[in-house]
Amino acid sequence: LAFGCPGLLAVLGMEASALGECELTRLLQDKLQYEMRLQYMKHYFPINYTVQVQYEEVLRPANITRLRNETVTEVALRYLWFHVSSQAVLRIHEVLPEKHPSWKYTQELCQLFDALGKEYSKYRQ
């Protein structure tokens, strides 16, 4: 799966394509820490700036609970989170000019999601 983010998966001096799902998820978790999201996705954006999304593109905790109660597998839930999150980050990245303070941050997120997508594509083969 390619999400159209520029660059070839060089993340933190490591080749992201050589990392497994657990390592990529850990790197994403580090990048998505509250402080980083607050800095790059709130403080650097204009007041009241929004990105339009469809209702189906929002992953709410109540929906996850409902899916768990309907016996959806954890693997399917991880893939759902991956898909929704990667598309949201890609949308944000596409509207940012390269000189924007959050551009590099969102580019790194896109690269990590791209590598994770390649990991998930191995499962379907």
The model's confidence at residue 3, banded by pLDDT at 50, 70 and 90, is very low
Q: pTM for the complete prediction? A: 0.73
pLDDT at 84 over 80: yes
Q: In terms of C-beta density within 10 A (0-12 exposed, 13-18 middle, 19 or more buried), how is residue 87 classed?
A: middle
CATH number of 19-123: 1.20.1250.80
CB-neighbour burial class of residue 65 (10 A; exposed 0-12, middle 13-18, buried 19+): exposed
* Percentage of residues of the chain with pLDDT beyond 90: 22
Tell me: pLDDT of 36 over 50. Answer: yes
CA distance linking residue 113 with residue 30, whole number of Å: 13
Q: Worst-scoring range by mean pLDDT, 18-32, 37-51, 93-107?
A: 37-51
